[in-house]
Amino acid sequence: MAEQQQDQRVPTVIADELHIVYRVNGAKTGKGSATAALSRIVKRGSGDARGVRKVHAVRGVSFTAYRGEAIGLIGSNGSGKSTLLRAIAGLLPAERGKVYTDGQPSLLGVNAALMNDLTGERNVILGGLAMGMTREQIKERYQDIVDFSGINEKGDFITLPMRTYSSGMAARLRFSIAAAKDHDVLMIDEALATGDRKFQTRSEERIRELKKKAGTIFLVSHNNKSIRDTCNRVLWLERGELRMDGPTDEVLKEYEKFTGK
Amino acid sequence: MTKPVSPDEGLTPARLAAKYGLSVSGARPSLVEYVRQLWGRRHFILAFSQAKLTAQYSQAKLGQLWQVATPLLNAFVYFAIFGLILNAGRGMPKDVYIPFLVTGVFVFTFTQSSAMAGVRAISGNLGLVRALHFPRASLPISFALQQLQQLLASMIVMFAVVIGFGSYPKLSWLLVLPALVLQFLFNMGLALIVARMGAKTPDLAQLMPFIMRTWMYASGVMFSIPIMLEDKPAWLADVLQWNPAAVYMDLIRFALIDGYGSDNLPPHVWAVGLGWAVVLAAGGFVYFWKAEERYGRG
């Protein structure tokens, strides 16, 4: 009987004493001038680690996520939430510790692959390919993506370069492209509530749909209400450490006490 | 929230992961698997390179015309300085020297810009690397491919110049194709190598212009190495002529220019060209793959 219950608790993501360290090169300015670059390289020959600062963003986080869970990540700005997500997705190499996952977790977001100088049309294709969709899949969903973004509601904007879009329009197109793919382990970073009221409702609906198809969801948000609405478990990060891990209500209560004072 | 004591209790995370068949996130795939993944992303690699190429000139009024105009202007500047002022042709007839110079500049630029783009392929695209999952080798390969397309555009200018100075299309022009394939393989390997180095040490991007300029002057882009080094020991000219940039330039000049016969080429030039291409492409690929899981740390 215990065995049967175990069957329902299949781990999908295990983080084991995870540490993430960013290395920031202090001397990154003045890229243009060749002489300045040369003098810096000469200087660097003597002391190698000079000018490099380490930022320890995640310090020894361990948890196990199970199938069917929707996990919220909360914490103040710079507490390591987004970094943790990227490490789970295997996008940031771990300094120490390991993350084990079932399949390939993916981050909802495609901004970095898009180019402002290209038309919306080409960006839909480029973004889709960057997410690992095939050309056929993109062709199939192309119209849905454009319709969903609502870019063409005010004229034929999809054939204009993305730099000509208003920030709201660009954000809508980005979200539409990112949300076009289904994911096993889905990770959503905050600031999804972009665009006008109408688009917000539409995107919330789409996220709910994606959630239904995904096995496990991670949601980073500063909006306690959206966490409460969607998550049944919450991880609270503070200064890169896991401060609390538990059911949504308990953790949020403590978190509100912490931030309220 | 009382949980029943589970049989998983007390298992170390590693054991638990093994029990449910979880794999380490972001681990480096095997070389074969890596090649397979890369092949799966071939459409992305091509689309990305084309997008970069288009985006490059999209704000200019003349638009994509600059793809041809830029190399033409470049060739003109080099001609004015080396052909007219410095007289670097050293007795080469003008109808050989000008096509010689133009092909040299274009072919070398292909390697040069592949290396320059390669060194920033990872370090300049950290946002992309940290946001999406794909074999990282896609980026340097894509940049090398972008430069190949750029070269194909400049080829129009190159052919026009060569024809304008009296070398008409003939069968030997077909030799341009294998030469370009070899050079592309070489450039791709080079881009992969400098991409890994540049990801670890972004400063390399600053050092790169100096390296490339030195390489350009040592490869005989605007002068013929054997003529220039006539009174120097013969091995020096041989070493310079066997350097990959010189080899690929010579192969294409030999294919296109009538007055540039095989006596200008070092011995075994095709074998050397093939060797460089295979060694760099295979070596560069493995070298890049070895650090696959570490890209993105920045």
Give the pLDDT of residue A51: 65
**Residue B221 or residue B145, greater confidence:** B145
| Contacting residues of B for A39, CB less than 8 Å apart | none
User: Are A91 and B131 in contact (CB < 8 Å)?
Assistant: yes
Structure tokens at A227: 């966490």
Segment among A34-48, B81-95, B251-265 with least mean pLDDT:
A34-48
Give the pLDDT of residue A138: 92
A179 — phi, psi (to 5°)?
-85, 5
**Strand, coil or helix: B256:** helix
Give the pLDDT of residue A193: 57
- Which of A92, A95, A162, A185 to probe the B interface (max B CBs under 10 A)? A92
**Residue A127 and residue A98 share a domain:** no
- Would A31 be classed as within a structural domain? no
**Cβ neighbours of residue A189 closer than 8 Å, sequence gap 6 or more:** A82, A85, A107, A108, A109, A220
**Residue A58 and residue A116 share a domain:** no
Mean pLDDT rounded to a whole number for chain A: 80
The secondary structure of A128-182 as a DSSP string is: HHHTT--HHHHHHHHHHHHHHHTGGGGSS-TTSBGGGS-HHHHHHHHHHHHTTS-
Give the pLDDT of residue A4: 41
**Residue A157 and residue A114 share a domain:** yes
pLDDT for A196 beyond 80: no
Q: Rounded to an integer, what distance in angstroms lies between the CA atom of residue A235 and that of residue A63?
A: 9
Across the range A179-194, mean pLDDT stands at 73
Is the separation of the CB atoms in B183 and B110 below 8 Å? yes
Q: Percentage of residues in chain A with pLDDT exceeding 70? A: 84
- Would A235 be classed as within a structural domain? yes
**Residue A141 and residue A118 share a domain:** yes
| Contacting residues of A for B44, CB less than 8 Å apart | 126, 129-130, 132
Dump pLDDT digits (tens) for A61-70. Answer: 999 988 888 8
- Would A77 be classed as within a structural domain? yes
User: Are B296 and A91 in contact (CB < 8 Å)?
Assistant: yes
Chain A contact for B41 (CB, 8 A cutoff): yes
User: Are B51 and A38 in contact (CB < 8 Å)?
Assistant: no
Q: Rounded to an integer, what distance in angstroms lies between the CA atom of residue A145 and that of residue A172?
A: 10
User: Are A9 and B8 in contact (CB < 8 Å)?
Assistant: yes
Q: Rounded to an integer, what distance in angstroms lies between the CA atom of residue A26 and that of residue A61?
A: 27
pLDDT for B150 beyond 80: yes
**Cβ neighbours of residue A11 closer than 8 Å, sequence gap 6 or more:** A64, A65, A66, A67, A100, A102, B8, B16, B17, B20, B22
B2 — phi, psi (to 5°)?
-95, 125
Candidates B41, B206, B293; nearest CB to A41? B206
Structure tokens at A55: 């930022």
Structure tokens at A131: 């997410």
Q: Percentage of residues in chain B with pLDDT exceeding 90? A: 44
pLDDT for A166 beyond 80: yes
Residues 235 through 264 of chain B touching chain A, CB cutoff 8 Å: none
Dump pLDDT digits (tens) for B159-204. Answer: 988 998 888 888 889 999 999 999 999 999 999 999 999 998 888 9
Candidates B6, B40, B133; nearest CB to A104? B133
Q: Percentage of residues in chain B with pLDDT exceeding 70? A: 96
**Residue A173 and residue A252 share a domain:** no
Chain A contact for B32 (CB, 8 A cutoff): no
**Residue A155 and residue A117 share a domain:** yes
pLDDT-derived band at B295, boundaries 50, 70, 90: confident
Dump pLDDT digits (tens) for A100-109. Answer: 888 778 777 6
Task: State the pairing for strand pair A11-25/A185-188.
Answer: unpaired
Residue type, B70: T
Q: Which of A129, A160, A181 is the last residue of a domain?
A: A181
Helices in chain B by DSSP H: which ranges?
13-19, 31-40, 42-56, 66-78, 94-119, 126-131, 138-164, 176-200, 204-218, 225-228, 234-242, 244-256, 269-289
Across the range A130-141, mean pLDDT stands at 90
Chain B contact for A74 (CB, 8 A cutoff): no
Helix (H) or strand (E) holding A50: none
- Would A170 be classed as within a structural domain? yes
Structure tokens at A108: 């909802």
Query: Tokens 């215990």 label which residue?
Result: A2
- Would A2 be classed as within a structural domain? no
**Residue A80 and residue A13 share a domain:** yes
**Residue A175 and residue A136 share a domain:** yes
Structure tokens at B92: 């080469």
pLDDT for A1 beyond 60: no
**How distant, in Å, are the alpha carbons of A27, A37, A53, B48, B201 from that of B204?**
13, 9, 19, 24, 6
Q: Which of A134, A163, A181 is the last residue of a domain?
A: A181
B56 to chain A: closest CA residue? A117
Segment among A13-27, A177-191, B51-65, B238-252 with least mean pLDDT:
A177-191
Across the range A192-216, mean pLDDT stands at 75
Candidates A2, A41, A129; nearest CB to B207? A41
Across the range A138-148, mean pLDDT stands at 90
CATH number, domain with residue A14: 3.40.50.300
Q: Rounded to an integer, what distance in angstroms lies between the CA atom of residue A189 and that of residue B100?
A: 56
Q: How far is A115 from chain B (nearest CA, A)?
A: 7
Chain B contact for A72 (CB, 8 A cutoff): no
Q: Rounded to an integer, what distance in angstroms lies between the CA atom of residue B60 and that of residue B156?
A: 21
Q: How far is A217 from chain B (nearest CA, A)?
A: 16
**How distant, in Å, are the alpha carbons of B39, B122, B194 from that of B35?**
6, 18, 19
Domain count, chain A: 2
Query: Tokens 């986080």 label which residue?
Result: A61
Is the separation of the CB atoms in B100 and B257 below 8 Å? yes
Chain A contact for B42 (CB, 8 A cutoff): no
Interior angle at CA B192, CA B40 and CA B289, nearest 5: 60
**Residue A255 and residue A235 share a domain:** yes
Q: Which of A163, A181, A199 is the last residue of a domain?
A: A181
Give the pLDDT of residue A113: 79
Structural domain boundaries enclosing A165: 109-181
Q: Which of A161, A173, A158 is nearest to A121 (CA)?
A: A158
- Would A208 be classed as within a structural domain? no
Across the range A193-220, mean pLDDT stands at 77
Bridge partners of A30, per DSSP, are none
pLDDT-derived band at B283, boundaries 50, 70, 90: very high
Dump pLDDT digits (tens) for B87-140. Answer: 777 778 888 888 888 899 899 999 999 999 999 999 888 888 888 888 999 999
**Residue B45 or residue A183, greater confidence:** B45
User: How many distinct helices (H) and strands (E) make up chain A?
Assistant: 9, 9
Mean pLDDT rounded to a whole number for chain B: 87
- Would A202 be classed as within a structural domain? no
Dump pLDDT digits (tens) for B217-237. Answer: 888 888 888 888 888 887 888
Structure tokens at A232: 């049944």
**Residue A95 and residue A14 share a domain:** yes
**Residue A133 and residue A81 share a domain:** no
Residues 141 through 170 of chain A touching chain B, CB cutoff 8 Å: 161
Give the pLDDT of residue B197: 94
User: Are B22 and A100 in contact (CB < 8 Å)?
Assistant: yes
Dump pLDDT digits (tens) for A108-128. Answer: 766 777 888 888 999 999 989
User: Are A40 and B203 in contact (CB < 8 Å)?
Assistant: yes
DSSP state of A32: S
- Which of B15, B132, B201 to probe the A interface (max A CBs under 10 A)? B132
Segment among A216-225, B25-34, B173-182 with least mean pLDDT:
A216-225
- Would A165 be classed as within a structural domain? yes
**Residue A166 and residue A99 share a domain:** no
Give the pLDDT of residue A3: 41
CB atoms near residue B83 (< 10 Å): 19
